[in-house]
Structures are given as structure tokens and as C-alpha cells.
Structure 1
Amino acid sequence: MASARAHRLRSALGLFLLAPLIGEFLLGNQPITALPSVFLLAPLYGGGALLVRETARRAGRGWPTMILLGAAYALVEEGPVDQMLWNPHYGGFDLGAAYAGARVPLLDTSVQLLQDVLTLHTVWSVCVPIALVEAFARDGDRSRPWLGLPGLSAAVLVFTAGSGFLALAQVESEDFVATPAQFAAAGVLIAALITAAFLCRRPGARHPAGRTPPAPWVVGVLSFAATSAYWGREYLPDGVPAAVPVLGWALLVAVVLVPCVRWARGEGWTGAHRLGLAGGALLTYAWVGFEQVRYLDVSRATGLLGNAVFATGALVLLAAAARAGACGRVRPRPLSDAASGTTMAPRVVK
């Protein structure tokens, strides 16, 4: 019992630290020289990812709930916390010009910026770290909470305090505060996403007639291709209408979600497939990080060295997760019935 509790606590701590490492350092937003700041970012990134997972798992929900809660987290971070959704000069960049296309009337922000915020944080800040850490968890711990009420309460306090601290720091450094109407609109949308998350059905039995998924490595390749295509918008030539990347994003989301939903309903969908999805996205961030070097306030050599270290770490982590998942799977074997001499079908643990 004590060993199982310790393993769950290690999983929670691993997620707490992994989320900012992926969301900021693997992406290339932070150089390796700023690595100690991971402890400053962990309350927001790691606390958010941990609360998303724990809330969903305590409610007996699965990935649809975690995805929607991840989207709510994305709006919390880039809305009330750092206000990037509305600040046209965030971080010293001319976001007003970069995102000058169509706007979302409710939020009073760019459609494309909203798409980017939802994609980056839902996929890479929340879902990818959760999937990777769950791959290391024991079979029984992958779908159950890792924290008791005291631990969950502590996570809420850490996330709230970290978010508040970063929000105040952003106001001071950016000298920008959104309007009350913008904050209110963000609050309404966040509440709607949280509500929708808990309207999702609880995980049920697999459908034997469900679509048979391809091999996990194929799912990983498709994930890598799709997430890399998303980042391909950076290479669109000047003069391309703003509607092109906006519509392309919607098409890409549909191309990914539709088959994955159908595959996930079938009996053949396993943790290895989920790891394939996460791994493909993880490897995309590994190469994108090298492209982000030009934006860092360090020498190119230092930036590239940091990217190489973080990318290597991502590869090692993915390989270890795949190995842990393979070792954790129970190989089915026939069960003999000594009394009747018959063979019973094995019970497969998902």
C-alpha cells in the first residue's frame, strides 16, 4: 500500500515538472540557461495539468473531459493570467500585426491567436505530459486519481498562488490590463468549456464493431505529420489571406479528431495508441524548438545546445514510456478449467 501511494505521488510530481519542461523549454521559448525557472513555471503549467488530470479521473471521466479541461486551462493561462489574448505588444512582439485577421466578437481577440492558444496548451501543455506520465503508471493507476483530498487541495493552492503571482508579474512587466468585458467574456467561455467537459460520457465498454486502429507506430507517425503540418503555417508566403491558416486549422483538427474518435471506440485501441499520439506531438516540439532559437536572448550556440539537450531528453523519455507501457501490458493466455477441460478466453485489461 505504501509503495503504491509513493508511486502515485511520484507520478503526480513527474507531471508537475514535465508540463513546463515541454510547454516552455522543449518548445524553445526558454533557453537552457533559464532552466531554474522551471520551478517558477511549474505551479501554473504543472499545477494546471495535474488539476486537469486529477479532476477528470476523480470524476471517473476520460480523455474527452481532459481535452476540454485542457482547453479551459489554455484560456485561463493566456487570458486572465498573462493576457496575451488581448495584449497587442505582448512580450515585445507586435502581435497586433501578426494576428490582424478576423476577430472573435465575444472575446475581442484574433481568431488565429485563439486557435494557437487552444492548440499549444491543450495539446502540449496538458495532454502530452499527462499521456506520457500515465504511460509509466501502473495499470490500476492510469485511470484513478493520484492525489487524495489533502494533495488535491495543495495542488489547487499552488496553482492559484502561482497563477496569481505570474498575473501580477505580467501586469507590471507588460504595463497592460484588459478590459472588464474581456475578462468577463473569458470567464464565460472557460465556464462553458468546464461544463461541457463534465457532460461527456463516462468511459464505457469498447464496441466490438468499432473501427480497428492501425498499429501504434502508425498513429505516432500520423500525429507527428499532423502536428508538424500545424506548425507549417510559419512557412506560408507573405500575402496569403488570413482565412487560409484559420480554415486550415479547422480542417486539420477534423482530420485528426474524426478517425481518432472512431478508433478509440473500438476494442483495439490501447494505451500504446495514446502514447503514439502523444509521442508524435512530442517529437514535433523537438524540431520546432530548433526553429525558435532566433527568438531567444542568448547566443545561437547556447540556444542550439539547449534545444539538443531538451530534444534528446524527449527522445529518451518517449523510449522509456514505450518500454514501460510494453512491460506493463498483460499478455493474454488461455485459462484452463480443470473441472471441465475447457479453455476460457482471457480477461483483457485496458
Structure 2
Amino acid sequence: MDRTISQTVGLRKPQRGLGFWNSIAPVLGLFFLAPLTAEYLIGYLSETFTEMLVGLLLLAPTYGGAAIIIRESARRTGRGWPTIILLSLAFGIFMAGLIDHSLFDPSFQITELWHDMPNPTYIPALGISYLDALYFVLGHVIWSISAPIAIIETFVPRSRTAPWLGNLGLAIISLLYILASSILCWGIAIDDQFFPSALQMAGTAIVVMALIALAFSVRLEERPFAAIRLPKPWVVGTAAFMLLSLPNIIETGCEMLGIPSMFMIDWPGFIINILTVGLLAALTWRWSQSRDWSASHTLSLAGGALLTRVWIAFLLVPFDEAMFYDELVQRTVFLLGVVMLLLLAAWKIRADKKRYEAWV
């Protein structure tokens, strides 16, 4: 039977009775991987390893819980990556607009590098910085949700497109997410002494609900794959890495050459970021229509995104100079951890090649 595009993007009939290693294990993996890729890999949080472990008590239910809920919502309804991406976008706007308020708070600083930095793309009438909004929302779409889901699904070919949790399990995860995100929202509002206006909150809620409705209205037609020459997985991963890294490469290159780089936080930088992400999205959509698109390509795409996150962390100046070497060690450990995770996932694909050929 010919495979179809809808199978490539993850449209498959849900399965039951998958056992611990094909259901609970990937749930735990996603629960803890999502907060690491969302917050820790980039190096924004200047914390010791002990503080990071304590932070996971709040961040794992927030990011991991959201990733699990989004994945389960898509897989339970027989939907795939278009739905996951749209739900991730809804989560990104919800998180930035209604939880940590980074979308609207002009004084929101996730790193000391941003202190006293001009914000040319800030529009007072809307209370939004377009460039910051792009960073925050797309950061959630790619690194908080999509990349960790793609990587964890690599380890469970049998249940890659099946639900992992029953109703009780999903209810527990949802409760943990609501509790953790509420605590996070309350804590940030107290610390920053900022809360969005009623109009901003209403506008955010409307956009989020519209994206959720759109996510569940998306159903791809069952149609044969297109005759497309697909590049090797390593080329796909390199493309993801280079395109997502390009804005930082441009900024770093300008600084090394003594060329003013402030244009990267202005509208030209916004346009460059939009173009690079848009090109990557277009290439991914085009390539995924090929009959030869495989789990290796998906892993390479997600891996390129994670490696981008890791190397950029080395560009950030530590909050506390006294912790410079500690932070350098942390970032090196994360780099090695990501590389090991990707190598392990690649080994898993090769080990289960025959099984993957039946599922991809």
C-alpha cells in the first residue's frame, strides 16, 4: 500500500496497551526534557546544578506538562505535526502573554545582557515588542514543545503516533500544569510588579483560542507522496542549525569585525529572523512530502535546533563573574548531554530500522 503525506506528518490511528516502555517511559522523558530545552540549554538561568534540580519541580510541570498535553491532544484525535505546531504556537502566546507576561512587560529581562538595551521594535500602542515577541513565541514553539516531542518520539517507534496516557494520566498531568503555571504566573507578577491590561489579556485569549480551533480543524488529505529529491538527514540537520543560528552568526560576526550590530535588535533583525525561520519552515514542509522522509530526518531537524540552542549559550555573559567557570562547566555538560542524546537516538533508529520502516 502506498504511504501518504498524512502518515509522514503523523496521522495514524491511536493504539492502546503499549506497556511501560512505549507509554510511561516517553512521558517521563518528555516531562523532563522539555524544561531543559526550553530554559536551561540557552544559559539564561544562572543557577547551580542543585538549584536547577529544584527549579525542575516548577518548570517540568509547566513545560513538560504542556508538551505532553499538546502531544496527547494531537495524537488522540489522529492528528499530526501541523496540529502540534499550531498548538505549540498557541502555548507560546499563552505563556508569553498570560503566564510570564514577557509579551507585554517592557521591563521584562530574561538575561542581564538585555538591561538598558534599546528596544526599537516596541510599539507603545500595542504594548508589544515585535522582536521580543518573535523570540519568546518561536522559542516556545521550537524548543519548549516541538523539538523535545520529536526527539522523545524517536525512542518509541511502536507508539510514535499513538497516545501515551489514559484519561487519568492526562488529567493528572493537566492538573500539575495548571498548578505549576499558576504559581509561576503569580511569582513573576509579584517580582516584576506588572500585570497585562484587561484588553491585552482578552486579545491574547482570543488569539490563543483561535489557534486552538485552527489546530483541530486541520486535516490533511490522504494523497500520495510527491516525487521530491530529499537531501540526506545530516543536510536537513545542518540546514536547521545554520538557519536558526544565522541571526546570531551575523551579530557575532559584526562584533568581531568591529561593525555596529545594533541593527540586529531593530527592524532589520526582525526581518532577518522572520526570513530564516520562514525558509526553514518552507523547506521542512517541502521535504516532508517526500516518500523518503524518515525518522532520521525528523531527528536531524530537531537535533539541529537543539545544537543551535546550546552553542548560543556560550555567547552569553554570565550574570555573576564569580560563577563564570561554573557556568562554563554547566554549558559544556549540556552540550555533551545533547550530543549524547542525539547519538543515542540515532543508534535507536538504526537498531529499529525495520520497525521504523513499517511506521514512517
- Scaled to the shorter chain, the TM-score interval is 0.7 to 0.9
Question: 1:108 deviation in Å?
Answer: 3.1
The 1-side partners of 2:306 and 2:90 are apart by: 21
The 2-side partners of 1:203 and 1:39 are apart by: 41
Does the C-alpha gap of structure 1 residues 203 and 20 become closer, same or farther in structure 2, counting only changes over 3 Å?
farther
TM-score normalised by the chain length of structure 2? 0.86
User: Whose Rg is larger?
Assistant: 1
1:167-246 matches, cutoff 5 A: 167-202=185-220, 204-207=222-225, 209-232=226-249, 234-235=251-252, 237-240=260-263, 242-246=266-270
User: Is residue 26 of structure 2 the alignment partner of residue 26 of structure 1?
Assistant: no
1:100 equivalent among 105, 113, 120: 120
The 2-side partners of 1:254 and 1:328 are apart by: 33
- Runs of 4+ aligned residues of structure 1 deviating over 6 Å after TM superposition are none
Does the C-alpha gap of structure 1 residues 77 and 298 become closer, same or farther in structure 2, counting only changes over 3 Å?
farther
Question: 1:327 deviation in Å?
Answer: 1.4
Matched position secondary structure for 2:23: helix
User: Is residue 24 of structure 2 the alignment partner of residue 9 of structure 1?
Assistant: yes
Partner of 1:269: 293
Greater displacement, 271-280 / 223-232: 223-232
Identical residues among aligned pairs (%): 32
Question: 1:297 deviation in Å?
Answer: 7.6
The 2-side partners of 1:296 and 1:183 are apart by: 35
* Structure 1: 5+ residue stretches without partners: 333-346
2:98–2:185 contact (8 Å) kept in structure 1? yes
The 2-side partners of 1:163 and 1:12 are apart by: 19
2:22–2:158 contact (8 Å) kept in structure 1? no
TM-score normalised by the chain length of structure 1? 0.88
* Structure 2: 5+ residue stretches without partners: 1-15, 255-259
Question: 1:95 deviation in Å?
Answer: 6.9
Does the C-alpha gap of structure 1 residues 103 and 193 become closer, same or farther in structure 2, counting only changes over 3 Å?
farther
Does the C-alpha gap of structure 1 residues 331 and 195 become closer, same or farther in structure 2, counting only changes over 3 Å?
closer
Does the C-alpha gap of structure 1 residues 257 and 20 become closer, same or farther in structure 2, counting only changes over 3 Å?
same
1:1-350 matches, cutoff 5 A: 4-30=19-45, 31-33=47-49, 34-36=51-53, 37-91=55-109, 97-101=117-121, 103=123, 108-137=127-156, 139-202=157-220, 204-207=222-225, 209-232=226-249, 234-235=251-252, 237-240=260-263, 242-295=266-319, 299-330=323-354, 348-350=358-360
The 1-side partners of 2:267 and 2:18 are apart by: 54
Does the C-alpha gap of structure 1 residues 239 and 323 become closer, same or farther in structure 2, counting only changes over 3 Å?
closer
Deviations 1:286-311 (A, max 9, x none): 11121224246861001101101111
The 1-side partners of 2:210 and 2:203 are apart by: 11
Does the C-alpha gap of structure 1 residues 213 and 143 become closer, same or farther in structure 2, counting only changes over 3 Å?
same
Partner of 2:257: none
Does the C-alpha gap of structure 1 residues 160 and 298 become closer, same or farther in structure 2, counting only changes over 3 Å?
farther
The count of aligned residue pairs is: 333
The 2-side partners of 1:206 and 1:226 are apart by: 29
The 2-side partners of 1:95 and 1:323 are apart by: 43
Matched position secondary structure for 2:69: helix
Greater displacement, 86-95 / 284-293: 86-95
The 2-side partners of 1:78 and 1:95 are apart by: 19
The 2-side partners of 1:297 and 1:202 are apart by: 52
Does the C-alpha gap of structure 1 residues 229 and 183 become closer, same or farther in structure 2, counting only changes over 3 Å?
same
2:82–2:215 contact (8 Å) kept in structure 1? yes
Deviations 1:231-263 (A, max 9, x none): 346546345282211211221122112221111
1:104–1:111 contact (8 Å) kept in structure 2? no
C-alpha root-mean-square deviation of aligned residues, in Å? 2.4
The 2-side partners of 1:297 and 1:50 are apart by: 37
Letter in 2 for 1:9: I
Question: 1:104 deviation in Å?
Answer: 9.0
The 1-side partners of 2:132 and 2:61 are apart by: 24
The 1-side partners of 2:80 and 2:18 are apart by: 25
Matched position secondary structure for 1:13: helix
1:135–1:271 contact (8 Å) kept in structure 2? yes
1:224–1:284 contact (8 Å) kept in structure 2? yes
1:224–1:283 contact (8 Å) kept in structure 2? yes
